[in-house]
Structure 1
């Protein structure tokens, strides 16, 4: 039986959250957690890419990004999307991402964002999950990751990884709960008029539920 949550010490508080964007990222993968963290007065969001400039999501949303050099990164957010398919094979990009993960005190991924983290070997020995519709592909990228096939999200050490797309909102609310308390997370969900799935094991889209 998969146990997606590993209890660890309380994470550090967040100040700067760097959102890693690339062409053809999945819009809600990024924007869902951005809405959650944007509600926290302590959090500053920075949108970064390897080259900087305008990045387009798979749905055509344009975001102005900056390069990561000189930015103090407390937390990193890596979305997924069709753009990950190419980037998992680009050594220079993975080296850049690996450095960002090393600089961060907390690292989050949504959907196939964990494919990038796995390809960069940052999840070796870590319990993690991903979009269940792409799960077999993601898991094939790195056998040293302890992939969890039934998990809405997983927390292990400084890493939070979530299942597909909308699951990133549930994960982000859990990060808020772990850092700022359950009441803050519940208030954020209410403000968003969002029905928060609070159970990491409650994964209605897992392969075992089909």
Structure 2
């Protein structure tokens, strides 16, 4: 399985590297990093990642879209959104963390679907599409090929849930134990929603 991670300036560090820690422990799983123009992408935590140009993706297994402060700008970047839409339509699965769901919502691909996002940015995320059935209390939501998670660390829970769905619960539990993480297994409950 190949996971195409889409990055943009000011992505949220844990949105990316929490799930990457999980996916990196799965046999035969590869991770590739892409951005609109390719090159170095950085964020406010001074993380710098070398990326490939987004239109050079090699496979269409899983598209992974993090959130972060940069989404506020990228929701108006039509070229970026068109690339996300094209990749998402071809991908077997699409996973978002935090405000990454706002980017996906702006493409129209979440219209009529259930989704969630970061609770502290929930009103802003909802303002990007009133055609999505936004589920505020969920830790993560699965609707068809779309997995959306709440804020930041919820991406780790969703990643483990995704692994559980496709590789088995035992493998997901082994990964959670290996990284010493208390996995929130109930996708319908998020302590942060209130």
Using structure 2 for the length normalisation, give the TM-score.
Answer: 0.97
Taking the aligned partners of 1:73 and 1:169, their CA distance within structure 2 comes to 22
- Find 1:127's aligned residue among 90, 95, 114: 114
Q: What SS class does the counterpart of residue 190 from structure 1 fall into?
A: helix
Q: What SS class does the counterpart of residue 40 from structure 1 fall into?
A: coil
Taking the aligned partners of 2:134 and 2:39, their CA distance within structure 1 comes to 34
In the alignment, does 2:82 pair up with 1:113?
no
Structure 1 residue ranges (4+ consecutive) displaced by more than 4 angstroms after TM superposition: none
For 1:9-88, list aligned pairs within 5 A: 15-68=1-54, 69-88=56-75
- Find 1:89's aligned residue among 76, 79, 82: 76
In the alignment, does 2:144 pair up with 1:144?
no
Q: What SS class does the counterpart of residue 162 from structure 2 fall into?
A: helix
Higher-RCO chain (CA-CA 8 Å, sequence separation at least 6): 1
1:99-141: per-residue Cα shift (whole Å, max 9, x none)?
1111211000000000100111111111000000000010111
Alpha-carbon RMSD: 0.8
Using structure 1 for the length normalisation, give the TM-score.
Answer: 0.90
In the alignment, does 2:142 pair up with 1:155?
yes
Partner of 1:165: 152
Q: What SS class does the counterpart of residue 50 from structure 2 fall into?
A: strand
Compute the displacement of 1:57 (Å).
2.1
1:54-92: per-residue Cα shift (whole Å, max 9, x none)?
000231100000123251120011000000000101111
- Find 1:182's aligned residue among 149, 169, 173: 169
- Contact 2:4 2:57 (8 Å CA) reproduced: no
- Contact 1:58 1:82 (8 Å CA) reproduced: no
Compute the displacement of 1:20 (Å).
0.3
